[in-house]
Amino acid sequence: MSTTILSIQSSVAYGHVGNSAAVFPLQRLGVEVWPVYTVHFSNHTGYGAWRGPMLAAEDVREVITGVEERDAMPEIDAVLSGYQGGTQIGDVILDAVARVKAANPSAIYACDPVMGNIKSGCFVHPDIPILLREKVVPKADLITPNQFELGFLTETEPNDLESTLASVERAREMGPSTVLVTSVLRDDRPEGTIEMLAVHGDGAWIVQTPHLPIKANGSGDVTAALFTAHLLQTGDASLALGRTASSMFDLIETTLNSGRRELQVVQSQEAFAHPRMQFEVTQVR
């Protein structure tokens, strides 16, 4: 039986962030994706200049209502959300989650709580972290913060495996049963490496990959989408972590080797459809 995801995210014409990063990899996994756009920009805002509209929250709500009027909500297995440009969009997403779960109680809400990163700090409106911490994350079943965002959400400072696991448990106490930490930079890790950590049920797993020297906008969006899909399709967090890490490394390496700034999503499609599984996943709890 196929998986269906309602993905409420941004859209760009040029490049790959938000839904413009997440939809195609999901489709290559055989996932039915229904994208709902929160903005439609010419390019991502990392360039410092862009054109196009941010959709009003009410317009986004109207699109979701139109989907509901097709009697489609029972088919949705997950609602996926990423960067929330304004505070009002959070209410629209949570309303969509409630409607989907009323129609399909087994559906999950996967939230990428985008706030910033360790290099840039917090780059969203000051109201967004409060919205995420107090209203959005408690309603999520799965969250995919990076290490910086995990610390911000839980008001902790994770810097090694034990403190990161402790921060994850604080996050799970807020509501989500599953947490994927997308960029774990432990003080004691081997030089030139980066890790991802998944905690699901009673288990915790970590995978280590080389840390490639590139900042790729949209990589978090692809990561959240892939992990959500693999977890839905397999129910196995360890397998989902291994597949996601494999695909993401190959995507970022292909992007680095291309010399281009934008993620080489189309060029990496085989890495999504058939992950090489080149990295060992280790159970740490």
Please check whether residue 165 is in contact with residue 244, taking contact to mean a CB–CB distance below 8 angstroms.
Answer: no
- Domain ranges for the chain: 4-283
Which DSSP symbol is given to 14?
Answer: S
Q: What is the mean pLDDT of residues 260-278?
A: 98
Topology of the domain covering 4-283: UDP-N-acetylmuramoyl-L-alanine:D-glutamate ligase (3.40.1190)
Which DSSP symbol is given to 201?
Answer: T
Percentage of the residues of the chain whose pLDDT score is greater than 90 = 88
What is the pTM for the complete model shown?
A: 0.97
Per-residue pLDDT of 163-187, as tens digits, reads 999 999 999 999 999 999 999 998 8
Per-residue pLDDT of 79-117, as tens digits, reads 999 987 777 999 999 999 999 999 999 999 999 998 887
- In this prediction, residue 124 carries a pLDDT of 76
Q: What is the mean pLDDT of residues 216-232?
A: 97
